């Protein structure tokens, strides 16, 4: 099936996902950008409230819309496409925030599928940093990781932990599994 080309890299914030995806994109792989950081930047620039420290439900809805659009855009690509998070991440975010997972969100996570193997970046305190968009603590990053393990596992995905290793080793690790 076509969705087997769609490769998700997920995990808690600050675990090296985006850096890894950027390095893999330099090898020629197509990628879909992460929703969260871009939404935060946009909301801050316009004085919006759909933020993880503001209206979390509105933030989740924007993430869902972004992920659905990324999925559609990826369908136009030939060959593998990397996703910096996937639709199930929205479910994990809502659960972690203590917010209800709407039927439409659950339906989207079940309907729009990715490759069965999902690469997950474990918490990595040695590289974790906070910045203007990443305000979570390392403890929150660890909780996010565990929520994502549960959400993806519950949906039948096989989680492949990324090694706590330099980017070049992570790239080789993934290339060996997606080729």
Rounded to whole angstroms, the Cα distance separating 124 from 118 reads: 18
pLDDT in tens, the chain (179 residues): 458 999 999 998 778 888 899 999 999 999 998 888 889 889 999 999 999 889 999 999 999 999 999 999 999 998 999 999 999 999 999 999 999 999 999 999 999 999 999 999 987 666 656 555 555 676 777 888 999 999 999 999 999 999 989 999 999 999 999 97
- Going by the DSSP 8-state scheme, the letter that residue 107 receives in this structure is H
Please report the DSSP string for 65-76 in residue order.
HHHHHHHHHHHT
Going by C-alpha positions, the residue among 70, 117, 69, 61 that lies closest to residue 91 is 61
**Within 10 A of 139 (CB to CB), how many other CB atoms are there?**
10
Q: Where are the domains of the chain?
A: 2-178
Global model pTM greater than 0.75: yes
- Residue 164: per-residue pLDDT: 86
Q: What does the radius of gyration of the chain's CA atoms come to, in whole angstroms?
A: 15
The DSSP bridge pattern shows strands 81-84 and 6-11 to be parallel
Domain 2-178 sits in CATH at 3.40.50.300
pLDDT of residue 128: 54
Phi-psi region of 156 (alpha: psi -120 to 50; beta: other; left: phi over 0): left
């Amino acid at each position: 099936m076509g969705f087997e080309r769609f490769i998700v890299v997920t995990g808690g914030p600050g675990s090296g996902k985006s850096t890894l995806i950027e390095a893999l994109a330099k090898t020629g792989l197509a990628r879909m950008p992460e929703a969260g950081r871009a939404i935060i930047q946009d909301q801050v620039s316009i004085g919006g409230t759909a933020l993880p420290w503001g209206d979390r439900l509105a933030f989740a809805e924007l993430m869902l819309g972004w992920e659905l659009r990324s999925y559609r855009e990826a369908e136009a690509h030939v060959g593998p496409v990397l996703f910096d998070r996937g639709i199930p991440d929205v479910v994990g975010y809502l659960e972690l925030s203590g917010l209800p997972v709407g039927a439409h969100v659950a339906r989207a996570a079940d309907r729009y599928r990715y490759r069965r193997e999902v690469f997950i970046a474990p918490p990595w305190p040695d590289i974790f940093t906070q910045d203007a968009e990443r305000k979570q603590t390392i403890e929150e990053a660890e909780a996010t990781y565990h929520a994502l393990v549960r959400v993806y596992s519950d949906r039948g995905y096989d989680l492949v932990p990324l090694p706590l290793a330099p980017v070049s080793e992570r790239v080789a690790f993934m290339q060996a599994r997606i080729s």
